[in-house]
């Protein structure tokens, strides 16, 4: 009986290669290989019909199948089916439980970040798309299209609702930590030495996964913060600088856009590095790649005597903005692995406390935005144009967008900003799948992860 599946694997001999039949009539043991393929196809049909629980039950029942235990390619396709069903179910459930647009934006943030909150939708989407990039052939095309559309619809609805509450509250959000408070309110009070890892475009759900990958930490705390608008790198990185809690604005000087922090104009990385060095004597500034590439002895020597170690990571944003979505998915998963290594290397070098945060999050769809989701550029006296925001003065407010002045965002500036209302984009150069700059929860809610590793003084 144990050898029977080997005997009946020769479908040509038995004429079962094209065997068909109702999947529900097949037995619980896959004696013939065609049964496994028929059931996987059936799972795809269940997902297309929105019967996600039935699909998950079938996957669970068959995950120990004789054939799957011996064929890792087929096992990966069943795992893809599981992840599609999980994402489809999550998208349906999130849309059914979205807060009312009449409540304050704090309620939307809470619904997003709680343990079983809507951020898990983003995690499931990233996990599915990451697996798809590693399959030799794409899973069921119809099923994949259904769950991708379900995710996009859920994100669009979330963005519309959250944006409406932000506008109703005149962009005043009193609950979550403001990004400008991270350095002075979180980093500054910690005992020295302390490391601050700033990851460009690290989404909140990625911070949740990073926290789960540090079971050996003596102390770990994860909280959400709301990034400054627009959610682009010069603004977010400036908001994380020392002194931003006391004085912060988004301004234009000499034709350049940047943040003004405590009187200093910070349009780029060199300016931010000078600012940090002037506010924190003996600060050490290095990239994540530098940190991971140095030997243990050289790293300890480099960090010796430094009260603060500032580590910068741009891998996620650079990969996403490249336009090569396939490679970007792989890079993003690798960044979380590297952050775990970095925290442990810092602890081994004597820096046992680390704060991990981001300048902004991101939206990353598997395919380019449809034409109906693209709005015209406002024109006017444009300073910068991104897929998810326009910065300038004057011009129009295209259909599907809204305009807000810098003054309404609390900035001492005459700039104006135009953002898409939902999950759409402006007609601008750049990638059509990876976006940030706008007002969605995925872009604005960033992680602030504080970790103390054992064994380091």
pLDDT digits (tens, 9 = 90+) for 267-310: 999 999 999 999 999 999 999 999 999 999 999 999 999 999 99
H runs (alpha helix) in 257-396: 269-279, 288-293, 296-303, 315-321, 325-348
In this predicted model, what pLDDT tens digit does every residue of 52-89 receive, in sequence order?
999 999 888 876 664 555 555 667 888 999 999 999 99
Residue 57 CB burial class (10 angstroms; 0-12, 13-18, ≥19): middle
Angle at 319 between CA 313 and CA 320, to 5 degrees: 110
DSSP state of 23: G
Position 34 scores a pLDDT of 52
3-state secondary structure of 430: coil
DSSP state of 101: T
Angle at 239 between CA 181 and CA 118, to 5 degrees: 75
Question: Does the CA dihedral 318-321-327-333 come out positive or negative?
Answer: positive
Neighbours of 414 (CB within 10 A): 11
Q: How far is CA 326 from the centre of its chain?
A: 16
Position 21 scores a pLDDT of 45
Position 65 scores a pLDDT of 62
Are 102 and 164 in contact, with CB atoms under 8 Å apart? no
pTM value > 0.85? yes
CA-based nearest residue to 240, from 254, 253, 251, 225: 225
Question: Does the CA dihedral 166-171-175-178 come out positive or negative?
Answer: positive
Position 261 scores a pLDDT of 97
CA atoms within 13 A on the CB side of 393: 9
Neighbours of 95 (CB within 10 A): 15
What stretches in the chain show pLDDT beneath 50?
1-22, 25-29, 31-32, 66
CA-based nearest residue to 283, from 314, 242, 239: 242
Are 329 and 208 in contact, with CB atoms under 8 Å apart? no
3-state secondary structure of 33: helix
CA 76 – CA 10 distance, rounded (Å): 23
Neighbours of 130 (CB within 10 A): 14
CA-based nearest residue to 300, from 352, 357, 336, 354: 352
């Amino acid at each position: 009986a144990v050898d029977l599946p080997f005997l009946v694997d020769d479908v040509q001999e038995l004429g079962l290669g094209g065997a068909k039949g109702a999947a529900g009539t097949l037995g619980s043991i896959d004696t013939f290989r065609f049964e496994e393929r028929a059931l996987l196809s059936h799972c795809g049909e269940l997902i297309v019909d929105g019967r996600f629980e039935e699909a998950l039950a079938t996957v669970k029942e068959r995950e120990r199948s004789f054939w799957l235990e011996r064929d890792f390619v087929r096992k990966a396709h069943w795992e893809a089916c599981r992840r599609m069903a999980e994402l489809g179910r999550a998208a349906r459930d999130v849309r059914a439980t979205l807060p009312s647009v009449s409540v304050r934006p704090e309620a939307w943030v809470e619904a997003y970040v709680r343990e079983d909150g809507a951020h898990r939708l983003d995690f499931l989407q990233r996990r599915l798309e990451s697996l798809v990039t590693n399959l030799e052939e794409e899973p069921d095309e119809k099923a994949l299209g259904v769950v991708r559309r379900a995710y996009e619809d859920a994100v669009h609805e979330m963005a519309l609702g959250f944006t409406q509450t932000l506008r109703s509250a005149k962009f005043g959000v009193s609950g979550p930590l403001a990004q400008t408070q991270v350095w002075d309110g979180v980093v500054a009070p910690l005992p020295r030495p302390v490391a601050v890892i700033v990851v460009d475009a690290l989404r909140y759900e990625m911070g949740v996964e990073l926290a789960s990958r540090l079971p050996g930490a003596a102390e770990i705390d994860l909280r959400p913060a709301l990034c400054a608008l627009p959610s682009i790198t010069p603004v977010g990185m400036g908001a994380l600088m020392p002194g931003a809690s006391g004085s912060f604005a988004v301004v234009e000087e000499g034709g350049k856009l940047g943040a003004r922090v405590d009187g200093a104009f910070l349009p780029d990385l060199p300016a931010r590095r000078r600012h940090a060095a002037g506010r924190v004597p003996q600060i050490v500034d290095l990239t994540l790649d530098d940190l991971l590439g140095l030997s243990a002895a050289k790293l300890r020597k480099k960090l010796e005597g430094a009260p603060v170690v500032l580590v910068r990571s741009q891998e996620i944003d650079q990969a996403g903005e490249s336009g090569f979505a396939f490679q970007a998915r792989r890079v993003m998963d690798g960044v979380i692995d590297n952050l775990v290594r970095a925290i442990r290397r810092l602890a081994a070098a004597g820096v046992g406390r680390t704060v991990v945060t981001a300048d902004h999050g991101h939206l990353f769809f598997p395919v380019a935005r449809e034409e109906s989701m693209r709005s015209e550029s406002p024109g006017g006296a444009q300073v910068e144009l991104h897929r998810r925001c326009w910065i300038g003065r004057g011009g129009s407010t295209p259909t599907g967008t809204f305009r807000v002045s810098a003054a309404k965002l609390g900035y001492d500036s005459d700039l104006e900003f135009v953002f898409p209302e939902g999950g759409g984009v402006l007609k601008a150069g750049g990638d059509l799948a990876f976006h940030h700059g706008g007002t969605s929860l995925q872009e604005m809610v960033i992680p602030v992860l504080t970790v103390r590793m054992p064994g380091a003084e």
